[in-house]
Amino acid sequence: MDAIRLILTSTRALAGGADAAEMMAEVWQAQALAQAIGSRLAVSGPPELRGEALGLTELAGRGCGVLDPPELDPGELRAAQLTELDDARETLLCLGGLLGEVGIALVGMASAAADETTYWQCMEAIDAADESRDRVVEMLRKLAAREEVVQNGNESSPSGAL
């Protein structure tokens, strides 16, 4: 399934989470999806993104690791459904939005946490989501810089001239 479609599905599911357990499961799903997207970009994305993509993979993995994994059937794991990542820029824009929503949801859950363990899990997951989002922003910056170079290169040489 296309990365953007999976991100939008995660965004809707996160917004529709009814209780804390469901919200935690959706946060975990979003972090796992970010990890899968980072991994895909590290392997087959634009070369200038590969280092940041590896960092995203690591940070999103940390975000999953600090939370208790939800009990999901294999078919419910969105990250495992990732088959296409056609537009890196659009995917990263959507992923940045999702990670922002994850952070907001985690702040709400931390504020309402009934126990210290849940509170600290949320705080660590907030850090991971925030740092993951920073990586996404840096990758978007690198894509914009590459696009600018390409555009300036095409404008400075007359077409057809050698």
DSSP 48: G
Residue type, 61: G
**C-alpha distance from residue 103 to each of 73, 83, 128, 133, 149 (Å):** 25, 26, 9, 9, 33
Nearest CA to 132 among 9, 8, 47, 27? 27
Contact 32, 10 (CB under 8 A): no
CA dist., res. 18 & res. 46, Å (int): 38
Residue 156 or 54, more confident: 54
Q: What is the mean pLDDT of residues 1-14?
A: 96
Burial 63-99 (b: 16+ CB within 10 A, else e): bbebbeebeeeeeebbbebbeebeebeebbbbbbebb
Residue 40 above 60 pLDDT? yes
Residues linked to residue 9 through DSSP beta bridges, in sequence order: none
Q: Is the pLDDT of residue 160 over 80?
A: no
The confidence band for 151, taking pLDDT boundaries of 50, 70 and 90, is confident
pTM above 0.85, yes or no: yes
pLDDT digits (tens, 9 = 90+) for 99-114: 999 999 999 999 999 9
**What is the Cα–Cα distance from 47 to 53, expressed in whole angstroms?**
10
